[in-house]
Structure 1
Amino acid sequence: MATVLLILKILQLLRQPLFLLMLPIRPSPEFLMFCPLELRVMESQTTLRTLTKQALLAAWGAACKVPGATLEIPSEFKFLIEPITLQGPCMPRLVLQIDGTLLAPPKVASWPKSSLFQWINFKWLHNFTIQGTGTVDGQGSNWWSLSQIHYIQKRSKDIPNMKPTALRFYASYDVTVCNIRIINSPQCHLKFDNSGRVNVTNITISSPENSPNTDGIHLQNTQDVEIQHSNIGCGDDCVSIQTGCSNVHVHHINCGPGHGISLGGLGKEKSAACVSNLVVDNISVQNALYGVRIKTWQGGIGSVKNVSFSNIQVSDVKVPIMIDQYYCDKHICKNQTGAVAISGGLPRQKQERGLRNLARFDLEDIGGATGFTINESNVVGGRWTVVVVQVEEEEEEEERAPPNTLIFGEFHCTRMVS
């Protein structure tokens, strides 16, 4: 029996559809049905419209019930959307097609008091895709000003220190995010928590270099992840991988500005941190504080196994490789004697002239790290150890990497245990 499309037009403004909800159904071959579904949407006098939570939830609810539905945000519109949770379980193969622009509330005080930790929250979804040519704009500049946040917090105790994440997935599986732009999040741009079988492909994430804590992609308690062929520039880690993650492959990423690709911080407040099977390769990092980094809190316990960084190119990066067992995001952290132990090696690397500070190791003094080798210089325990690589002068070659550029081969951390 042939498949036809049931198209639900959801309220026309200025003779243009706000949404096209395309639902595959299977009636008789000669039958094509058009069913208008009217939703209330507040209209402004410009192309910018405020899309109410009720309208979006109604459209989502209709799409959620039908296998293979596509909910489309048309390219000709910009929608101001208040914080919302779009949840399942839904029928499989649901697609959110973002071709227009979604805008978060621009002022901190205009956010609902109960929705301060994420802007668009997806949960309990399976076999779900976000795609399109559009933009998700967190309009986070007001959140980046600490003085303004402190002023508002003084007036309202309901506003916490944590800033909202733009897009967050919770307890969702077989999720794909591709082709869209996510910009100017108040904090993290794209977060996956307690999820699995995640694919992120060909997206662009962008926020200013001085926007604090604006991680690009943040993974926590999430397994079987591939992040590939994307451009990420932000004010913090381009990709942040936290405890509970395994089978993660990050490759063909352009990172910068930002803090590079980061594993941790692990073991905060003496917690157990477990990470395994992480591969990061074919990465270009430029104009960043770090290239690749492993950071652990003092006092933490846990296990990190099979971590590999390879084929990383860095340019204008302060510290290409950083292993920090004294990580602290406060002004002062209490010194402790224990930390996660690290063992592994860096068997091969390629160097370019003009580079001096290759790596910085801030290691626990007693049994914190063993077995690392960089250019025949053994790294042993001891705080604030800096490995300085002496690059011999060579004859000029026709093709040479730009100044302050490092291309290194492989770094393997085979095991970190408490």
Structure 2
Amino acid sequence: MGGIQIAILAGLAWGMLVLSLIGSAYMVAAAITLHSFLSPRAAAGRRNDAVTILKPLYGAEPRLADNLATFLAQDHGGPVQLLCGVQRPDDPAIAVIEMLRARFPKARIDLIVDPTPHGANGKIANLINLEPHIAHEIVVLSDSDMVVRSDYLSRLLATLDTPKTGAVTIAYNGRGDAGFWSEMVAAGLSWQFLPGVVFGAMYGLARPCMGSTIAMRLETMAAIGGFAAFADVLADDYAIGEAVAALGLEVRMPPMLVTHASTEASFGEFWRHELRWGATVRNVAPAAYLTSVIAMPLPLALLAIPLQPLPGLAIAGLALLARLSAAIVADQRGGARTAPLWILPLCDCLAFSVFIASLSVRSVDWRGATLRMAQRGRISAEPELPFR
């Protein structure tokens, strides 16, 4: 290898180490921000608003009944409609809904079975079919794999009442429900995604709107074109948030958490989930996605070790401490250990691998279908998208 090549490689190694140092500083700042954001707050008062909670379902995920039950076990005085939708009469989720009805005989749990397709996004097609059955003025959309606390509605509705608020979304941590690989997904959510989304929102670097929760009034939903406006959009939650912002309204994120229940049982499921997530973010916010590499200071430092052993080891140690600080704060504020801390280095290295792989992805796998990505977050489905 020539001297010029060695110099170039050495320069690249130092560049990665500088990025790692920047990333470590960022992760410490994100941990401090997260700690402050989720500091204990006074409880919101009991509410009496009438609310419809939308749940697009597909299949019987592990602990689905328990997850849905948390939306019914609310400290809330007003009427609640849990409006669930499936697109196949043989969907296993139907049996789960029947169990839930027996468990909560006084609750209003409506189930709509409607196979009508709408565009390439199966989740949005499900929501379009649910839209005519919404009973109340306040609508809360939440993915089927979310778990909430008993003050969820009261705190959510208090935020929706603030002036100039068009929608409310909620940050989330992770919980693994299907073994090691689901814990890896959950760790990525709690230890990397959560500190990042809170830091971005608090300092105006991002305007998050997430499928964990999107709450709005029917008039706002109508103003953005209803769910039909997003039938061919992959990142539908992000697009809904942008549409609300285009009305001159705010998408607010109150200082609370919900939990995402991960169900990936194998490396293949883990990889497809993470790659789809990464490619989706890259497709709607490419510049922000490229700069997100600084949130991976540990693999950046490890890559530099062969060319700069001593500085690489020292900076890798700093990166590990910074990442551990973010993980510990996230779990402490979330109220539970997401995964054993020893998996953090593996989690970060796999996240970096997904980041590199996602840069060239032009289609993603979603429940057996290939979704081809186009400009501005739009998609087409080949073959036909399975029901969701």
Q: Judge same fold: TM > 0.5, yes or no.
A: no
Query: Highest Rg: 1 or 2?
Result: 1
TM-score (norm 2): 0.25
What's the TM-score, normalizing by structure 1? Answer: 0.23
RCO (CA 8 Å, sep 6+): is it higher in 1 or 2?
Answer: 2
